[in-house]
Amino acid sequence: MRINKYIIFLFSIWIFISACGPDKLTAPEYMEWVANPENGLRRKQELGMVTFIVQYKPTDYMIAKTILKDGKLDENPDSLRQKSTITVFDIHITCESGSIHPYYYNNRNPQAIEQRQRYYHFSIQDDIYAKSGSQEFRPLYCRAEHGALMNNTLTLECGFESIPTSEDISLIINDTQLGSGIVKFNIDKSALSHIPTLKI
């Protein structure tokens, strides 16, 4: 009887401790968690006919993606986490609820279309920056995803030198092509501090 009580007590303590610790999620669960707007890492701004969605991608997100894609990890996840010195965002741009690709939104002239394509492939990097506290960060790279014409969404991936997560992170885009002007996205520090760990 006394042993049973002891076991129940230990079991309760174990449940209590595991509830207090950071969540551990499998790769698909992790991807789903990060993409869920309720968790604060995915922000949306609608400006007239133009919609911007920004996705903050933690290091474990990349690891989870690799696991889902390749089925395994070639490197130790902890060393991967330590090596990761960049902060990555995905930016998804849609126009008129996805009925037209941003390249062609209010744009019919072939030369202007080409100019817009060039802008998103080479120049948009100059019009994007991130802020954390009083620090400003310029992107190390910004690349437009190829083959995104299929779903009328323009997807850009932007990498920054590691941005501290102790403060809110703001991503600021001053898109000069779609007439939206400056658009800000705020990733709250409370959201950043509650990111679960990937179970590997």
* Cα→Cα distances 142→85, 119, 158, 183, Å: 16, 11, 4, 17
Window 144-173: residues binding another protein (CB under 8 A) = 170
The yes or no reply on residue 37 touching another protein (CB under 8 A) is: no
Cβ 195 to another protein shortest distance, Å: 19
The yes or no reply on residue 47 touching another protein (CB under 8 A) is: yes
The yes or no reply on residue 125 touching another protein (CB under 8 A) is: no
Q: Which of 48, 98, 133, 164 binds another protein (CB under 8 A)?
A: 48
Cβ 43 to another protein shortest distance, Å: 6
43 or 101: CB nearest another protein: 43
Cβ 69 to another protein shortest distance, Å: 31
Window 176-195: residues binding another protein (CB under 8 A) = 179, 181-182, 184-186
The yes or no reply on residue 43 touching another protein (CB under 8 A) is: yes
Taking alpha carbons only, the member of 115, 134, 131, 135 closest to residue 176 is 115
Is residue 193 a contact partner of residue 42, using CB atoms and an 8 Å limit? no
Q: How much of the chain is in helix, strand and coil states, percent to nearest 5?
A: 40, 35, 25
- How buried is 43 (Cβ within 10 angstroms: 0-12 exposed, 13-18 middle, 19+ buried)? buried
CA 119-84-78 angle, 5° bins: 150
Cβ 21 to another protein shortest distance, Å: 30
Residues that bind another protein (CB under 8 A): 43, 45-48, 170, 179, 181-182, 184-186
